[in-house]
Amino acid sequence: MLHVDDDVILCTMFSEGGYQPCKGDSGGPLVCEGVVIGVVSWGVECNIRNKPAVFGRVDAAIDFINNTLK
């Protein structure tokens, strides 16, 4: 069983049959109601429907992001 630390990552799955992220998608945004809440990390398989994908949580890294942008 895979352990997921939900303090730093989000697991998602499209409710309407969307596709998983693929190679080259890493760092891409996960947007909810116009707000970037995650960045692509990895998925189970490339471009597969109805499988979970894993995103890094922006709120868990916001201090690092803000300090880097200074």
Cα 3–chain centre separation: 16
Decide if 4 is inside a domain: no
Decide if 1 is inside a domain: no
Question: pLDDT per residue over 4-44, tens digit each?
Answer: 678 888 888 877 767 788 888 999 999 999 999 999 998 87
Report how many domains make up the chain: 1
What distance, in Å, lies between the first and last C-alpha atoms of the chain? 40
- Please, are residues 12 and 37 in contact by the beta-carbon 8 Å criterion? no
Query: Band of the pLDDT at 66, cuts 50, 70, 90?
Result: very high
Assessment of whether the complete model's pTM goes beyond 0.85: no
Decide if 2 is inside a domain: no
CATH code, domain with 38: 2.40.10.10
Decide if 18 is inside a domain: yes
Domain that holds residue 52: 9-69
Decide if 35 is inside a domain: yes
Decide if 3 is inside a domain: no
